Amino acid sequence: MFSRTSIQTKANIISISLSLAATFIITALLIILIGKNPIEVFGNMFSEVFLSGYGIGQTLFKTTPLIICGCGLAFCFHASIFNIGAEGQLNAGAFAMSLIALKLGAFPWYISIIICIVVAFGVSALFGLIPAIIKIKKDVSEVITTIMMNFIIMALINYFLVDFFAVKSTMHTEKIPEDMMLMKFSSITSFFQGSSLNISFIIALALAVISYIVIYKTKFGYEIRAVGFNPSASKYIGLSPDKIIIITFIIGAGITSLTGLNFIMGYKGFYEYGFSNNVGFTAIAVALLARNNPIGIIFSALLFGVLDSGGLAVNEIVPKEIVLVVQGVIILTILSINTIVDKKFNIAK
């Protein structure tokens, strides 16, 4: 006789392994179909990603925003908030981060960074607050509002960039002062030479651990999950679902802004239109794969990070776009296999 948690763990392990195996096979078939050798492709990917300090560094660099954004979404998803708007929310926050950073020359770097984080968090949170309020007050699903907000935010950023803030004939803002940039790993050890991996990665890991504790080990976390499971029961139990949904939405959206740290403060030094490269959507898959468990998110983000940096590694053999296909396949295999395995184990959703 297994306890509930151990059955769940076992089911999780089985479904994740099966999903990965299925994805692996589908990808191999796809590669064979276009007349290439899958072993060569996977081999190249492996050696590029895992066998050099640069490869490892780049992979972790690409993993960082996925962990951050995945954690933000985990909060939302636990409360049954279907936030499809992370892409817009994180861009709004990151854009604000780049602009405020340019104004903070006079402060010591650590204060500047804190201000940057607070401002970015606040701006992203604001764009979480809007759909949250519409959901509460007007009973309109956040799915549709967040999708619409994505387009609105991107159009607004485009407008402000083109008409006010962009460096002429580019789509990016001016570069922030060098001393405000976050420390790169390559400056500590030459192992990571050339890679863009920076302190944001550590911040992302810390964020995951904190998120885990908040969600599973605090009263607030219990409240979030209770509201996610059953809002009307939560109300009769004495919680305020509306309040919890608003707070969770704000936290979730706010966290996504921290992805800006990695790119702006840790890498380029400016906001660039389209920098996020659909992280806000990929992170949905990252969170799902980990069943919204922030510790699991570290690993699922890593998987997508490997794919992302591996794509470039195999570009000479197969187009790097194959990675996009693999991502899509992973999402769908995980969704279906999870469901089937859960059914086999009689785990009620």
Which residues of this chain interact with another protein, rule CB under 8 A? 3-5, 34, 82, 84, 134, 137-138, 140-141, 143-145, 147-149, 151-152, 155-156, 158-159, 162-163, 213, 217-220, 222-223, 225-226, 229-230, 232-239, 278, 281-282, 284-285, 288, 319, 321-329, 331-332, 335-336, 339-340, 348
* Pick 118 or 324: Cβ nearer another protein: 324
* Pick 52 or 315: Cβ nearer another protein: 315
* Pick 145 or 293: Cβ nearer another protein: 145
Query: Is residue 95 within 8 Å of residue 234, measured between CB atoms?
Result: no
**DSSP 8-state symbol, 105:** T
Backbone angles phi, psi at 73, to 5 degrees: -70, -30
- Distance between alpha carbon 128 and the CA centroid of its chain, in Å? 15
* Pick 92 or 104: Cβ nearer another protein: 92
In the chain, what is the straight-line distance between the N-terminal and C-terminal CA atoms, in Å? 20
Rounded Cα gap, residues 240 and 247, in angstroms: 11
CB 81 to another protein: min, Å:
11
CB atoms within 10 A of CB 85: 31
CB 122 to another protein: min, Å:
21
Backbone angles phi, psi at 52, to 5 degrees: -135, 150
* Pick 40 or 321: Cβ nearer another protein: 321
* Pick 118 or 143: Cβ nearer another protein: 143
* Pick 122 or 221: Cβ nearer another protein: 221
CB 117 to another protein: min, Å:
25
CB 339 to another protein: min, Å:
5
Rounded Cα gap, residues 118 and 143, in angstroms: 26
CB 300 to another protein: min, Å:
14
Q: CB within 8 A of 161, min separation 6: which ones?
A: 95, 171, 172, 173, 273
CB 29 to another protein: min, Å:
14
CB 279 to another protein: min, Å:
12
CB 321 to another protein: min, Å:
4
Looking at residue 347, its amino acid is I
Query: Is residue 36 within 8 Å of residue 252, measured between CB atoms?
Result: no
* Pick 104 or 330: Cβ nearer another protein: 330
CA distances to 154, 207, 257 from 225, rounded to whole Å, are 31, 19, 23
State the DSSP string of 158-184.
HHHIIIIISPTTSSB-PPPPGGGSPPB
Q: Where are the alpha helices (DSSP H) in 238-346?
A: 241-256, 259-260, 279-289, 294-314, 322-344
* Pick 120 or 287: Cβ nearer another protein: 287
* Pick 177 or 328: Cβ nearer another protein: 328
CB 249 to another protein: min, Å:
15
Q: CB within 8 A of 28, min separation 6: which ones?
A: 38, 42
CB 280 to another protein: min, Å:
10
Closest listed residue to residue 225, CA positions, set 3, 217, 284, 341: 217
